[in-house]
Amino acid sequence: MLKEDRHNIIVEETVTNGSSSFQSLSKKLAVSEDTIRRDIKELDNKGLLRAVRGGAVSVSRIPHHYRDRENTDIDQKKIIAQKAVSLIKSGQVLFFDGGTSVLELAKILPLDLKVTIITNSFPVANAIEDHPTAELIFLGGKLNKTSFSTYGNETLQGIAKFKVDIYFLGICSIAPDKLSCKDLEEAETKIAMMRHSVKTVGLCTSDKINSESPYFVAQTGHMHTLITENSKGTPGTKALARLGIEIL
């Protein structure tokens, strides 16, 4: 076996599993652990993976604190994303904001869908990068290093240039009367996206229903559809349904 082949297998193994150990690779490739160690050191230098004690881990463009958030309630978010995707039709233009449920939607976008996605979120952009037919317009602006999205005047002006079909809104907190979030700039972005879309669809794990955050986004009634992972209505969703919001 060529060294090149071995390197490819190591990288592949590491990327698909998220990590790999000297032990397992040594057995799998029938070479000593020392050789694997040296291989991984080389691959680390090339930036193809990161060498750690005991083996290697895959390098991810998106840091951990975001990743953690991304992976909480992942099953619920997948259900929500599934429901949301059924609302999208080819040819539409969509706003995606920086929420993690919205990101999940970006990840499962059917490969034959020809849509234009406008976003201020780097993780969303990374997800769409690999999509064959979706077009992406990224909103410029200052970088928020915790949410990995852009904000500020530049971003708001960018949003104002469009009037899109659907805005997929990641919900931080929803009370019976109002939507709110944890960050002033994020709130401003969400407000602008709502104003420049025909229809607003909120994505929300049900634990966020009946919670509040410091920064006001909008009256709940301005949202057209709310998607949660829970199909049978809860008291919270029923109250929102009475306001005329479609619950999915």
Residues at the site binding its own copies, with contacts judged by CB under 8 A: 2-5, 8, 18-19, 21, 45-48, 52-55, 57, 61, 63, 70-71, 74, 122, 125-126, 128-130, 135-143, 145, 148, 150, 154-155, 158
Cβ atoms < 10 Å from Cβ of 199: 16
Question: Which residues within the stretch 36-55 sit at the binding site for DNA (CB under 7 A)?
Answer: 37-39, 41, 52-55
Residue (117 or 194) nearer to its own copies, CB:
117
- Please give the size of the binding site for DNA, defined by CB under 7 A: 17
Interaction partner, residue 34 (DNA, its own copies, none; CB < 5-8 Å by kind): DNA
What long-range pairs does 36-42 form, CB within 8 A, spacing at least 24?
A: 36/10, 39/3, 39/6, 39/7, 39/10, 40/10, 42/7
Q: Which amino acid is at 118?
A: I
Stretch that binds DNA, among 31-39, 97-105, 141-149, 188-196 (CB under 7 A): 31-39
The C-alpha atoms of residue 38 and residue 187 are separated, in whole angstroms, by 49
CB of 128 to its own copies, least distance (A): 7
Which residue, chain included where needed, has tokens 């349904």? Answer: 241
Contact 189, 211 (CB under 8 A): no
Interaction partner, residue 74 (its own copies, DNA, none; CB < 5-8 Å by kind): its own copies
Residue (17 or 32) nearer to its own copies, CB:
17
Stretch that binds DNA, among 26-34, 57-65, 94-102, 222-230 (CB under 7 A): 26-34
Contact 164, 94 (CB under 8 A): yes
Measured at the CA of 122, the angle between CA 129 and CA 184, to 5 degrees, comes to: 150
157 binds DNA (CB under 7 A): no
Please enumerate in sequence order all residues whose Cβ is within 8 A of that of 248, keeping only pairs 6 or more positions apart, or say none.
Answer: 83, 84, 225, 226, 227, 228
CB of 140 to its own copies, least distance (A): 3
Distances (CA, A) of 148 to 62, 64, 144, 210: 9, 12, 5, 26
27 binds DNA (CB under 7 A): no
CB of 27 to DNA, least distance (A): 12
20 binds DNA (CB under 7 A): no
- Interaction site with DNA (CB under 7 A): 3, 6, 22-23, 31-35, 37-39, 41, 52-55
